[in-house]
Amino acid sequence: MAQITIDKIEKRFSVTKALSAIDLTVRDREFVVLVGPSGSGKSTLLRIIAGLDFPSEGTIAIDGKPMMGVAPKDRDVAMVFQSHALYPHMTVYDNLAFNLRIRGIAREQIDVKVKEVAARLEIIELLKRRPHQMSGGQRQRVAIGRALVRDPRVFLFDEPLSNLDAELRARLRTEIKRLHRELQRTSVYVTHDQIEAMTLADRVVVLRGGRIEQVGAPDELYARPANIFVGGFIGSPAMNLVPANGADGSLALDGGERFAASTPVRGPLIAGMRPEDLMVVPVGTAGSFHARVNLTEPTGADTLLLCSIGAKLDLCVRVSRHMRAVEGDVLTLRPRDGSLHLFDIESGQRLN
């Protein structure tokens, strides 16, 4: 049981504001991912939850109990660091056992617990090694194990997979998700990798410049980004953000193309179209426009077509690998129904 309530948190470092007006409730057993570019304040927020940093304003409570003045060791949280932070002078066994020993748990109990966790993470054969005798993936596995033996109320992850290669990252990501399904512990996970955020989270919190841009389930964020930033940040390849002009029942793209679309506002705005939401349709289809293929990038299952509208506008279109397109082709494109995202050109907020 653990619910984290973050109330109006603000964090200032001498001149800069790292976090402002953060309100967030992490529900019991929920896996929440804090995602954002570097400098967005996501790690600072995690460290405040851990008790390693203190908010300048606002309060944080775990299960209703205010955490003001409560030392990290008394918060019953466990944390996995980006740099693994294993104790170099101890074996893996001692690394895992350390936090139980410091809490005065009986030796036999520690042994049972350490072996259980080691078995779960398949690191039994590593127990006698020291951190420097292991690979990066093994170390991070041990670091996760160190968090697991505690059986804490809350798991905190600070970019645990960032230092690993792509394949290992994907494997451990799956493993973390599986562990969460099995253990059902409240978890807060920080990453700058939106794919990690999408795959792991029950809810994603998108941060930028110390503010929350949007909170929501992964598919919600993907389908209805609240503003340009979230639209551009979530999804890979990124959403096409095209300056456009809204008129009655149509949209004029900056490159000179115009197509029928329902728009709530007239005048300049930003049209967001995800690469996979642009369909290639027969010439003359209602609501379609034209684009010229400049470059093709086969990625395996899909092919990415980098197109231009008029002279300058770049547009990425994702098509099946079966579609043959060559540079210079002119495509007729239509956004899938209900897939058009319209944003205010000034505030960047969603319009439709």
Partner 1 sequence: MRLSLYIGLKWVALGLWSIFVVAPFLWALTTSFKSDNGVTQGATYIPWLEYEPTLEGWATLFRDPAQGGIEIQEPYLASVLVTAASTFIALVLGTLAAYGLSRFSFRAGPMKNSDISFFFISQRVMPPAVLAIPYFLLLQNTALLDTYIGIVMVYTTMLLPIVVWVMVDFFNTVPIELDEAAMIDGCNPMQTFFRIVLPNCGPGLVVATLLCIIFSWSEFFFAMTLSFSNVQLLPPTVVILNSNKMPWWSLSASALASVLPLIIVAFFLERYLSRGRLARAFK
CB of 74 to partner 1, least distance (A): 9
Contact between 13 and partner 1 per CB under 8 A: no
SS3 content of the chain, % helix, strand, coil (to 5): 30, 35, 35
Helix/strand/coil for 163: coil
Q: Report which of 284, 258, 283 is spatially closest to residue 271, judged by C-alpha positions.
A: 258
Site string for partner 1, 120-149 (x = CB under 8 A): -----------xx-------------x---
Q: Is 114 in the site for partner 1 (CB under 8 A)?
A: no
Q: Who's near 203: CB < 8 A, 6+ residues apart?
A: 30, 31, 32, 33, 215, 216, 217
Does residue 92 sit in helix, strand or coil? helix
Nearer to partner 1, 82 or 339 (CB): 82
Q: What mask of x and - would describe binding to partner 1 in positions 24 to 63, judged by CB under 8 A?
A: --------------------------xxx-----------
Nearer to partner 1, 76 or 329 (CB): 76
Number of residues that bind partner 1 (CB under 8 A): 24
Residue 81 sits in the site that holds partner 1 (CB under 8 A): yes
Residue 88 or 338: which CB sits closer to partner 1? 88
Provide, rounded to whole angstroms, the least separation between the CB of residue 206 and partner 1: 26
Nearer to partner 1, 143 or 228 (CB): 143
> What angle (nearest 5°) sits at the alpha carbon of residue 271, between those of residues 267 and 272?
165
Give the whole-angstrom CA distance, residue 252 versus residue 190: 39
Q: Which residues, in sequence order, are bridge partners of residue 329? A: none
- Using CA atoms, how far apart are residues 90 and 131, in angstroms rounded to an integer? 8
Q: Which residue has the tokens 């570097």?
A: 38
Give the nearer residue to partner 1 in terms of CB position, either 47 or 208.
47
The smaller minimum CB distance to partner 1, of residues 154 and 315, is found at 154
User: Residue 250 has which token pair?
Assistant: 């149509």
Strands 31-35 and 16-26: unpaired
- Amino acid occupying residue 46: L
Residue 317 burial (CB < 10 Å; 0-12/13-18/19+)?
A: buried
Q: Which of residues 91-110 bind partner 1 (CB under 8 A)?
A: 98-99, 102-103
Stretch of 76-84, 170-178, 240-248, 316-324 contacting partner 1, by CB under 8 A = 76-84
Rank residues 71 and 166 by Cβ distance to partner 1 and give the closer one.
71
What is the contact surface with partner 1 in residues (CB under 8 A)? 50-52, 71-73, 77-79, 81, 83, 85-89, 98-99, 102-103, 131-132, 146, 150
